[in-house]
């Protein structure tokens, strides 16, 4: 029964978290938020864990008092077997087939049945074996009939991340608030994560959102600039991409956009099958990537897959969730980038989606420095202004052939994909307006005073939770604007080939439309309009 009461408490955790957080969330210190999450988690996990440990200890003490040494050894053996079988069954059988809540109900029922059967054995003796079995089965049925409420939509709404969007306090109010804003259309507890898809109830612009463990990782509109540009940026810059690998399925938009190019094969590696399944709901924006014969979807770990793919790909596109998410920081380490580098052909490009919101400037610099430590030639595009970076790296110098890029962007399928209202790229000038940093700017930005993010020292994985709730957008904006000069350095260094007056004029107009007015815009416009570019 104790576990049942704890389950009732678990269903109210979002409301408890928001209530303790209070009204003025901007004034809450990060250390308090991390401590609050730890405390709320402990409320659910600590007591059951201690109780189960106590049961094992009491069982050992009982047999030791009887002097049955062999029985104590047998108890340890069965405990080891139970730990192995339980871990395997929980991750690979119970969660995928019964969901989190179903698996919890099953465990509660089994534990209560075992407890009652033990008591029955003590009172009734061995002759009453059938009655003990009946008692156990009835207990499981009773637990199933009187289970507490559990609202899937609320549990994946991410109040730990999006607390500022919730006004309600009680659980019933939160359920009502969440249901008014969006409708849950997909939910699955997978082996590696809980995956959900919600549809906004905004009649003007209905939108699908893909969430992993409550964190939104893709959408059918708002995130399209990042999802599509992460495909098109490396694909139009590489002189002849044929074999491409996409690490992370997400909504499938990036893989679908890659397949629009003249490629032979696109390998998509996704660790969670539920993400692949959920991506089918985004068929209207991912070009039905699941049905594309050029695309092969593999279920597995991206790092492990790349280990055996030396020199296999022209382009690798990596789209992990934010580095503070559990498991995601492994896809931002030096070792991971080294594997990507070895998996590329000569002259290959690697494109890394790098989120800079919810991270302080030094953390952003650490991520860029780690990337730069493996790929000496780095170009940085910005798909969502001061939110998402697309970091392009190579072992050799990258020259941007403007006529070739213009020709590819003008292909009907590519032009249509980028000219949608969500992305808003109608020309090669619009495309280059998203370019921010060249190799020299990146070198100046990262400096020499910060460590690298590595497998044995995953700095960002531990710093990230403390920075998650900080409003760092303006800080990171100032950081990047301090060194960003757009395509100017590429023109000066001769890495932008084939530009002309019409391109410069069009780029100037694109900068005015895309860049927020400020130092970066002024530097770019002043330089492009000067005689340094085209002469008298």
Q: Tens digits of per-residue pLDDT, 74-95?
A: 888 888 888 888 888 887 888 8
Nearest-angstrom CA–CA distance, 433 and 516: 12
Cβ atoms of residues 321 and 292 within 8 Å:
no
- Least confident piece of the model among 45-49, 234-238, 254-258: 45-49
Task: Tell me the per-residue pLDDT of 439-498, one tens digit each, with 9 for 90 and over.
Answer: 999 999 998 889 999 999 999 988 887 887 777 888 888 888 888 888 888 888 889 998
Strands (E), 37-181: none
- Res 536 pLDDT > 60: no
Per-position b or e across 163-183, b if 16+ CB within 10 A of its CB: beebebeebeebbeebeeebe
Tokens 């990060």 sit on residue: 30
**Residue 272: pLDDT band with limits 50, 70, 90:** very high
Q: What separation in angstroms does the CA of 326 have from each of 213, 321, 505?
A: 10, 9, 46
Nearest-angstrom CA–CA distance, 397 and 33: 44
Cβ atoms of residues 416 and 423 within 8 Å:
no
Across 153-182, average pLDDT: 79
**Residue 427: pLDDT band with limits 50, 70, 90:** very high
For residues 317, 319, 324 and 330, what is the CA-based torsion angle, rounded to 10 degrees? Answer: -50
Across 390-412, average pLDDT: 95
Nearest-angstrom CA–CA distance, 117 and 154: 36
**Residue 525: pLDDT band with limits 50, 70, 90:** confident
Across 136-147, average pLDDT: 59
Instruction: Tell me the CB-side half-sphere exposure of residue 219, using CA atoms within 13 A.
Output: 16
**Residue 369: pLDDT band with limits 50, 70, 90:** very high
- Res 335 pLDDT > 90: yes
Write phi, then psi, for 16 (nearest 5 degrees): -60, -45
Cα 392 to the center of its chain, rounded Å = 19
Per-position b or e across 485-520, b if 16+ CB within 10 A of its CB: bbbbbbbeeebbeebeeebbebbbebbeebbeeeeb
Closest by CA position to 250, among listed 265, 232, 223, 235: 223
- Least confident piece of the model among 131-135, 232-236, 439-443, 487-491: 131-135
Cβ atoms of residues 249 and 275 within 8 Å:
yes
- Res 153 pLDDT > 90: no
Cβ atoms of residues 338 and 455 within 8 Å:
no
**Residue 535: pLDDT band with limits 50, 70, 90:** very low
Nearest-angstrom CA–CA distance, 304 and 141: 43
What's the pLDDT score for residue 226? 95
Paired tokens of 446: 């990262």
Tokens 């399928």 sit on residue: 413
Nearest-angstrom CA–CA distance, 361 and 364: 5
- If one counts every other C-beta atom within 10 angstroms of the C-beta of residue 484, the result is 24
Give residues with Cβ within 8 angstroms of 22, minimum separation 6. Answer: 28
Tokens 């920081």 sit on residue: 329
Give residues with Cβ within 8 angstroms of 66, minimum separation 6. Answer: none
Nearest-angstrom CA–CA distance, 395 and 371: 12
Across 510-528, average pLDDT: 74
What's the pLDDT score for residue 27? 66
Q: Chain-wide mean pLDDT for the chain?
A: 84
Q: What separation in angstroms does the CA of 34 have from each of 42, 161, 193?
A: 12, 12, 21
């Amino acid at each position: 029964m104790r576990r049942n009461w704890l389950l009732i408490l678990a269903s109210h955790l979002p409301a408890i978290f928001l209530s303790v957080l209070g009204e003025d969330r901007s004034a809450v210190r990060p250390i308090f938020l991390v401590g609050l999450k730890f405390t709320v988690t402990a409320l659910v996990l600590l007591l059951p864990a201690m109780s189960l440990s106590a049961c094992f200890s009491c069982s050992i003490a009982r047999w030791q008092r009887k002097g049955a040494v062999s029985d104590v050894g047998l108890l340890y053996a069965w405990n080891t077997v139970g730990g192995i079988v339980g871990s395997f069954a929980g991750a690979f059988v119970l969660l995928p087939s019964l969901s989190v809540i179903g698996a919890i109900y099953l465990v509660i029922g089994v534990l209560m049945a075992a407890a009652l059967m033990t008591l029955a054995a003590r009172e009734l003796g061995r002759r009453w074996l059938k009655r003990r079995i009946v008692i156990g089965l009835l207990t499981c049925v009773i637990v199933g009939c009187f289970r507490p409420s559990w609202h899937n939509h609320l549990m994946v709404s991410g109040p730990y991340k999006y607390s500022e969007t919730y006004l309600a306090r009680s659980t019933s109010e939160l359920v009502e608030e969440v249901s008014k804003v969006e409708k849950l259309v997909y939910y699955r507890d997978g082996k590696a994560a809980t995956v959900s898809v919600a549809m906004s109830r905004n009649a003007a612009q209905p939108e699908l959102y893909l969430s992993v463990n409550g964190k939104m990782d893709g959408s059918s509109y708002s995130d399209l600039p990042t999802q599509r540009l992460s495909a098109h940026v490396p694909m139009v810059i590489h002189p002849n991409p044929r074999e491409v690998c996409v690490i992370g399925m997400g909504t499938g938009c990036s893989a679908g956009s890659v397949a629009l190019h003249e490629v032979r094969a696109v390998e998509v590696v996704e660790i969670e099958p539920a993400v692949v399944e959920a991506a089918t709901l985004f068929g209207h924006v991912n070009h039905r990537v699941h049905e594309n014969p050029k695309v092969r979807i593999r279920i597995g770990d991206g790092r492990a897959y790349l280990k055996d793919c030396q020199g296999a790909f022209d382009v690798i596109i990596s789209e992990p969730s934010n580095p503070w998410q559990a498991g995601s920081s492994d896809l931002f380490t030096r070792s991971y980038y080294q594997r990507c580098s070895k998996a590329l052909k000569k002259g290959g490009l690697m494109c890394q989606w790098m989120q800079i919101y919810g991270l302080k400037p030094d953390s952003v610099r650490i991520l860029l420095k780690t990337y730069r430590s493996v790929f000496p030639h780095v170009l940085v595009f910005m798909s969502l202004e001061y939110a998402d970076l697309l970091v392009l790296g190579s072992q050799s110098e990258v020259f941007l052939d403007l006529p070739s890029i213009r020709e590819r962007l003008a292909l009907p399928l590519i032009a249509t994909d980028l000219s949608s209202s969500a992305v808003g790229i109608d020309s090669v000038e619009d495309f280059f307006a998203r370019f921010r940093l060249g190799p020299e700017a990146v070198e100046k930005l990262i400096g020499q005073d910060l460590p690298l993010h590595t497998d044995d020292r995953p700095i960002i994985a531990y710093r990230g939770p403390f920075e998650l709730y900080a409003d760092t957008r303006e800080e990171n904006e100032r950081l990047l604007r301090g060194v960003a000069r757009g395509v100017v350095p590429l023109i000066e260094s001769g890495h932008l080939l084939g530009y002309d007056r019409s391109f410069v004029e069009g780029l100037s107009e694109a900068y005015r439309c895309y860049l927020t007015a400020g130092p970066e815009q002024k530097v770019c416009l002043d330089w492009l309009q000067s005689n340094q570019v085209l002469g008298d």
